Chain A
Amino acid sequence: MPVEKRPRDELPARIREVAREQGAELPPLLVGELGRKLKGLKISPAETTKVIREVATRYRRAEVDAHESVGIIAAQSIGEPGTQMTLRTFHYAGVAEMNVTLGLPRLIELVDARRIPSTPMMTVYVEKKTRADREAVEKIALQIEVTNVPDIASIGTVVEDLKVIVSPQVELMQARGVKRADLERALAENIDPKQFLVKDASGSGESRPFEIHIAEAAPSKKTEEAEERPFKRLLEASEEAKAIRIKGTSGIKRALIKKEKEEYVIYTEGSNLEGVLDIAGVDAGRTTTNSVFEIYKVYGIEAARAALVLEASRTLSEQGLGVDIRHLMLVADVMTNEGDIRAIGRHGISGKKSSVLARAAFEITAAHLLRAAITGEVDELKGVAENIIVGQPITLGTGAVNLVYRPSVAPLTTVAEATPPPSPEA
């Protein structure tokens, strides 16, 4: 990060110091906010101190208690509103033209740590210079959007002549910014000359079609079959031609441009963060995707954690459900704690628990028990589920404290004559 030279601000240090006197270690966010609020006010230093003291005491009052079972609270806080969420997979978020998975399915997807979300989507921002220029943004969008052969040319099969005809459509090519030469190059690069031959057909100019023939000495895998039924090979050829990508970033099916305030933003269907970031003119600092896994691959685990928190909280707030961000952070932290993204469930966290009993109680009971036996596993009975199973108090909350109070017992005879206590009904 570039070091910014700013006038030294004594207020944050002062806030921290005064709060520390009160026994409170204020988080940076709060210090910053308080600093900003105090700055504009014309108040005496004594009053400032008074305010900080009050903030510190209030802060201490709001701190979590030791041994609070924050995990269960987080799980409940996220799970309980689940019943109130919509199940509709497709909804329109932000961009009307695009379908995005929302609600419960999206939340489940996040928690499952799926590699590829069911509706991958990117928000691509453009660098400052060109972000207000629609044409420049469109150019970038075209670079992002995948253009396959069928997008710009019609592909037809002529069985009598055993050939596939690829006829470029000039209008479509112009819209996508593709030249016939690009198509030619793409065909040449992607079609195996040992199998098929690409020739120019009759015609002229940009719309001159291509012909694909079966190569004479094509060593086919299934030679006999191919000889018998050459049209099968022809079909192969046309399928191959259809799959050829002429330009664009792989994985991105569509790119849409939307005006947002003063700039144009590109929304894409499909996601390929790595590929998009390589494109010149893209503002890498703000461009993002809803694929947590891609963020992890490109930026690392901390970014993935932030992405998880952001996506989860967005999903919940879109449904109008208020869930404290601390719960989401905890879930994200658990998922990313080991350095990669682990799912909530038997393939992730629950399957890797150290306790045999806890694993057996969750899912696939028999397999865990059998395995524990031959490897001679030991269950230390430290977790919650294990202790419930053996019938002992759990190790969280009040159960975490091992304090024994032994009152000094007075001999029974000395108090026997004490005045009779009030009746229990009183």
Chain B
Amino acid sequence: MTQGLSKKIKSLQFAFLSPDEVRRMSGVKIITADTYDDDGYPIEMGLMDLHLGVIEPNLRCRTCGGRVNECPGHFGIIELAMPVIHVGYAKEIKRLLQGTCRACGRILPDAPSSRSEAASDSDEPTVRTREPKEERVCPHCHEVQQKIILDKPTTFRENGHKITPKEVRARLERIPDDDVRAMALNPKFGRPEWMVLVVLPVPPVQVRPSITLESGERSEDDLTHKLVDVLRINQRLRENRDMGAPQLVVEDLWELLQYHVTTYFDNQTSGIPPARHRSGRPLKTLSQRLKGKDGRFRSNLSGKRVNFSARTVISPDPLLSINEVGIPAEVARALTVPLAVTPHNQEVAKELVRRGPTPPANPGYVCGVNYLIREDGQRIKVMEKNAEACGELVQPGCVVERQLLDGDIVLFNRQPSLHRMSMMAHFVRILPHKTFRFNLCDCPPYNADFDGDEMNLHVLQSQEARAEAKVLMKVEEHILSPRYGGPIIGMLHDHITAAFLLTYQNPSFRRAQVTYLLSKLRIPIPPPAGTDRDGQEYWLGKQLFSLVIPKDLTIEFRSNIWNRCDCSPMSCTHDAFVVIDKGILKAGTIDAKAIAFGKGAILDAIARNNGPARARQFLDEMSRLAITAIGLNGLSTGIDDEDVPENARKEISKALSEARLKVNELVEQYRKGKLEQMAGRSLEETLEVQVRRELGQARDTAGDIAGRYLGLENPAVILAKSGARGSMLNLTQMAGAVGQQSVRGERLLRGYYNRTLPHFERGDLGADARGFVSSNYKQGLRPTEYFFHSMGGREGLVDTAVRTSRSGYMQRRLINALEDLNVAEDETVRNTAGTIIEYRYGEDGIDPSRSFQGAAVPLDEILSTVLGRRVKPNVDSKGEPIAGAPPVGEEELDLLAEAQLEEEGEEEETEEFGASEEGPDLGGE
């Protein structure tokens, strides 16, 4: 096996093929439009001539004598009877004709600027070249110049007379090299007259292979079809010309030839109908092969297919480390790692090969070998039959392709790969069953869930790649996101609920319970916290949680459940202040704020201060502790949890009908013209704003009333308050009222003439007629409300669909514009051309993923650690202790949660009009 690059391409020179060069590189002249004879043998001087290369086994190339995989293919040539214009250069030719003398070919003083519109794809010329008004006279030969018009796509006219390609070519030939240079072209690599084709290179058959269908029928490539057309017309044109056919006939044929050559290059040229296949499908010719998403460049050159990869459905396994991935044995048998045989491992390799590709379980998976590559590069497939014999062939210098083993490093990926955390390195764990498995904490970076998602896996093949993956790509190296400098890998859902149940109000556990709680961890049971009245030993939840955090962790922050109470941290009645001193949880509830991805303060602190390895250990242990903690009592929520007492329901409906009355009153005022107009708003808008505010408040009131009956003993409330899943808004929509539905940010409007549904009077502006849903999800929606709710929901779906494509394109453009930037060794940011973009990256040279939520250095933390308790740590302007500040806005998490809800097809709140969202009174914020 060759290691490293033996050769490197330093640069690529682009140039134009001259007719001479086309002739020189041609293996055969093509004259017949036929491909194969009746026996299926390529016709000589036809489009499938054996000089062009071979694509069928058992044939030899007539040019190089090579067989199928040896012959690279050779070009042929078509001598065109009459010259034709190359479509891609029509504009360029126009510029040259216009800029040079029609008689002597010298450049004219007012030649159009060198920067042509060639790079712009619009048909409309963006830079308007000055059309000379007065008569232009050549300063060299005093010839009077004529105006040249390009009749799209390939016809040139001078004063209304057509200039034939032949004449165009003659004129271009007259332009001297120096003047060509002055026109910003390089005559060394492309003389202008070459843009008018006299010969057409015929690509090798490898470029346009014919396919044999099951029926034995041959089907030719689109390019071959097009070349057949060119050949036919070329032949007829030659015959007619030579026979002295009428000028008109020759010209017609000439234009037809031009058409075929044009569509051969680009079948989407505007102004001419695309050439079609018999079935009516437009042919895919040269330009179409290269262009666009499925073209050669984007599909085959910028992205390539790979071997040693696997794809299957994913499922969760909380017992795996975040650094691991569970791989089905079947996949492991198919994927291999090359093992270079050396004198040191010769015996081991021999033993591996002897096992063959399917060694029996002992008791679990046993690694086998699929291929043996001998020193001379020959690949031998190892089978059960020849395993023994292959073993004998193993000697230093061989390479053994052994199957995956526990501990191998692989890359794991989920599309869309929007950021670098979409592809991370995991260590292999071979497991039974047929899915890829990983720890749930890895879901956020991949944006994965388990509703049928599939993921890809790649096995690294070189030692260099493995080393890089281990150092740079391991999951633990990506806990802190470079996007915002906070943890992107962290606890979610049940983990958070579990942590909450374990620490909230510090419950106590008996020995049996503690044994179970710690059963998944390799941590000995600590001494009990005390003995209760029955003389039984007991342990406390906070004590158990403290087992998994580092011993040097000291941190204080507010929990997610903090409800703006101003108790002192150590004696908060709501247990909402987390105090951790030297690795002991002294007070507070562990919830989303502490350990969730995106905002977990503890997680953030560990990853930053104790390093990624310790953070990984914390996540591994915490997920194990969480599954036992939640399993101890379980947590279920059902529709009953949103039940509210009868009197609450009455209160809610009273509040809602009051709101309805108020809305009617507003409408009445509006009708009478008594409504006071808001500055800069029309009367209608004023009404809408006020109605929306009124109804928004009504929804909130309903929610508040319902919320009073939903306390922390309610499992759904636990989920919402701890930040595990859902929000209080979701709950109040279930128990209170769903609220106003909207499309395009306005109350529902469209539908029937002057009304949304025939259930209402025309022109009804009241709450119910315009999409206010006063029922809640628990009660169920009335038919009209259900319809309105669907309208709002539909908009959300459409929005999501449009958004993905729009933001995808934006990201592609951003990547393309920024991909070449790199921090040079002198700390400047440069592109690959060497241009300095920034003198110091981000003005301070700090890596955002190592930053302290954007700040270079946590000054307060340093002050308090270096100077000790003597100096009170500064509190930031918001009054939040620094460590507790969320790196990600709460809204984003809500949005994330919503996105997940949508994906799961659950009901979710549609855009609501909250009083918090708008309204002039709150506008100033």
Q: Is the CB of B16 within 8 A of A374?
A: yes
Q: Is the CB of A51 within 8 A of B863?
A: yes
Residues in chain B near residue A421, CB distance under 8 A? 344-345, 348
8 contacts between A and B (CB under 8 A): A54-B862, A58-B858, A71-B818, A104-B810, A324-B484, A326-B841, A353-B820, A383-B833
* Stretch touching chain A among B205-213, B323-331, B799-807: B799-807
User: Within the assembled complex, what's the spacing in Å between the Cα atoms of A76 and B819?
Assistant: 10
Q: Is the CB of A424 within 8 A of B871?
A: no
Contact with A along B468-491 (1 / 0, CB 8 A): 100010000000001111100000
Interface status of A226 (Cβ within 8 A of chain B): no
A414 to chain B, nearest CB (A): 9
Q: Is the CB of A80 within 8 A of B367?
A: no
Q: Is the CB of B844 within 8 A of A75?
A: no
Interface status of B32 (Cβ within 8 A of chain A): no
Contact among B186, B190, B367, B895 with A425 in the assembled complex (CB-CB below 8 Å) = B367
Known contacts A104-B803, A104-B806, A323-B483: A378-B919 contact under CB 8 Å? no
B508 to chain A, nearest CB (A): 39
Residues in chain B near residue A360, CB distance under 8 A? 290, 297
Residues in chain B near residue A363, CB distance under 8 A? 121
Interface status of B452 (Cβ within 8 A of chain A): no
Interface status of B19 (Cβ within 8 A of chain A): no
Chain B residue, CB-CB nearest to A69: B822
User: Within the assembled complex, what's the spacing in Å between the Cα atoms of A425 and B817?
Assistant: 47
* Stretch touching chain A among B589-597, B698-706, B884-892: B884-892
Interface status of B680 (Cβ within 8 A of chain A): yes
* Stretch touching chain A among B6-14, B155-163, B498-506: B6-14
Q: Is the CB of B820 within 8 A of A84?
A: no
Chain A residue, CB-CB nearest to B402: A424
Chain B residue, CB-CB nearest to A414: B343
Q: Is the CB of B892 within 8 A of A320?
A: yes
User: Within the assembled complex, what's the spacing in Å between the Cα atoms of A75 and B820?
Assistant: 11
Contact among A323, A374, A418 with B185 in the assembled complex (CB-CB below 8 Å) = A374
Residues in chain B near residue A59, CB distance under 8 A? 846, 856-857
Q: Which residues of B (321-348) have their CB < 8 Å from a CB of A?
A: 339, 343-345, 347-348
Q: Is the CB of A80 within 8 A of B923?
A: no
Interface status of A303 (Cβ within 8 A of chain B): no
Q: Is the CB of B10 within 8 A of A381?
A: yes
Q: How many residues of A contact B (CB 8 A)?
A: 136
List the 4 shortest-distance A-B pairs measured between CB atoms, nearest first: A320-B891, A79-B811, A71-B821, A376-B189
Chain B residue, CB-CB nearest to A400: B822
Q: Which residues of B (152-203) have their CB < 8 Å from a CB of A?
A: 184-186, 188-190, 192, 195
Interface status of B829 (Cβ within 8 A of chain A): yes
* Stretch touching chain A among B56-64, B104-112, B245-253, B847-855: B847-855
Residues in chain B near residue A47, CB distance under 8 A? 866-867
Contact with B along A80-100 (1 / 0, CB 8 A): 111111111011101111100
Interface status of B636 (Cβ within 8 A of chain A): no
Interface status of A364 (Cβ within 8 A of chain B): yes
Q: Is the CB of B847 within 8 A of A84?
A: no
Q: Is the CB of A365 within 8 A of B297?
A: yes
Residues in chain B near residue A73, CB distance under 8 A? 420, 482, 848
Q: Is the CB of B838 within 8 A of A330?
A: yes
Interface status of A63 (Cβ within 8 A of chain B): yes
A150 to chain B, nearest CB (A): 16
* Stretch touching chain B among A33-41, A165-173, A234-242, A292-300: A33-41
Contact among B266, B482, B813, B857 with A366 in the assembled complex (CB-CB below 8 Å) = B266
Q: Is the CB of B820 within 8 A of A383?
A: yes
A79 to chain B, nearest CB (A): 3
Known contacts A319-B891, A321-B892, A381-B9: A51-B817 contact under CB 8 Å? no
Chain A residue, CB-CB nearest to B9: A390
Interface status of A370 (Cβ within 8 A of chain B): yes
Contact among A29, A64, A354, A384 with B847 in the assembled complex (CB-CB below 8 Å) = A64
Q: Is the CB of A256 within 8 A of B679?
A: yes
Q: Is the CB of B814 within 8 A of A256?
A: no
Q: Is the CB of A370 within 8 A of B822?
A: no
User: Within the assembled complex, what's the spacing in Å between the Cα atoms of A321 and B807?
Assistant: 15
Chain B residue, CB-CB nearest to A94: B923
Interface status of B89 (Cβ within 8 A of chain A): yes
Q: Is the CB of A77 within 8 A of B419?
A: yes
Q: Is the CB of A361 within 8 A of B297?
A: yes
Residues in chain B near residue A78, CB distance under 8 A? 811, 814
Q: Is the CB of A371 within 8 A of B119?
A: yes
Contact among A54, A64, A92, A364 with B923 in the assembled complex (CB-CB below 8 Å) = A92
Interface status of A217 (Cβ within 8 A of chain B): no
Known contacts A72-B818, A382-B832: A88-B744 contact under CB 8 Å? yes
* Stretch touching chain B among A1-9, A154-162, A176-184, A331-339: A331-339
A317 to chain B, nearest CB (A): 7
Interface status of B654 (Cβ within 8 A of chain A): no
Q: Is the CB of B843 within 8 A of A27?
A: yes
Interface status of B313 (Cβ within 8 A of chain A): no
Residues in chain B near residue A423, CB distance under 8 A? 348, 351
- Counting chain B CB atoms within 10 Å of each CB, the highest count among A25, A34, A98, A375 belongs to A375
User: Within the assembled complex, what's the spacing in Å between the Cα atoms of A289 and B534?
Assistant: 73
Q: Is the CB of B822 within 8 A of A345?
A: no
Chain B residue, CB-CB nearest to A79: B811
Interface status of B661 (Cβ within 8 A of chain A): no
Q: Is the CB of A70 within 8 A of B841?
A: yes
Interface status of A280 (Cβ within 8 A of chain B): no
Contact with B along A322-365 (1 / 0, CB 8 A): 11111101110110010000001101111101101110111111
B592 to chain A, nearest CB (A): 15
Residues in chain A near residue B121, CB distance under 8 A? 363-364, 367
Interface status of B824 (Cβ within 8 A of chain A): yes
* Stretch touching chain B among A190-198, A244-252, A391-399: A391-399
Known contacts A62-B851, A376-B13: A396-B822 contact under CB 8 Å? yes
Q: Is the CB of A66 within 8 A of B483?
A: no
Q: Which residues of B (247-303) have their CB < 8 Å from a CB of A?
A: 266, 287, 290-292, 295, 297-298, 301-302
Q: Is the CB of B867 within 8 A of A324?
A: no
User: Within the assembled complex, what's the spacing in Å between the Cα atoms of A50 and B865?
Assistant: 11
A407 to chain B, nearest CB (A): 12
Known contacts A98-B680, A107-B810: A415-B419 contact under CB 8 Å? no
Contact among B11, B16, B813, B850 with A111 in the assembled complex (CB-CB below 8 Å) = B813
Q: Is the CB of A84 within 8 A of B895?
A: yes
Interface status of A369 (Cβ within 8 A of chain B): yes
A12 to chain B, nearest CB (A): 14
Residues in chain A near residue B472, CB distance under 8 A? 398
Contact among B11, B189, B837, B860 with A381 in the assembled complex (CB-CB below 8 Å) = B11
Residues in chain A near residue B215, CB distance under 8 A? none
Chain A residue, CB-CB nearest to B799: A87
Interface status of B920 (Cβ within 8 A of chain A): yes
User: Within the assembled complex, what's the spacing in Å between the Cα atoms of A105 and B614?
Assistant: 41
Q: Is the CB of B5 within 8 A of A69?
A: no
Q: Is the CB of B823 within 8 A of A80?
A: no
Q: Is the CB of A72 within 8 A of B815?
A: yes
Chain A residue, CB-CB nearest to B194: A374
Q: Is the CB of B301 within 8 A of A87?
A: no
Residues in chain A near residue B344, CB distance under 8 A? 415, 418, 421
A92 to chain B, nearest CB (A): 5
Contact among A327, A330, A416 with B483 in the assembled complex (CB-CB below 8 Å) = A327
Residues in chain B near residue A389, CB distance under 8 A? 297, 301-302
Residues in chain B near residue A357, CB distance under 8 A? 12, 297
Interface status of A224 (Cβ within 8 A of chain B): no
Known contacts A66-B823, A320-B895, A424-B402: A390-B12 contact under CB 8 Å? yes
Q: Is the CB of A330 within 8 A of B842?
A: yes
Interface status of A218 (Cβ within 8 A of chain B): no
Q: Is the CB of B806 within 8 A of A108?
A: yes
Residues in chain A near residue B814, CB distance under 8 A? 74-75, 78-79, 111, 331, 344
Contact with A along B395-426 (1 / 0, CB 8 A): 01000001001000000000000111000000
User: Within the assembled complex, what's the spacing in Å between the Cα atoms of A327 and B419?
Assistant: 13
Interface status of B535 (Cβ within 8 A of chain A): no
Contact with A along B639-676 (1 / 0, CB 8 A): 00000000000000000000000000000000000000
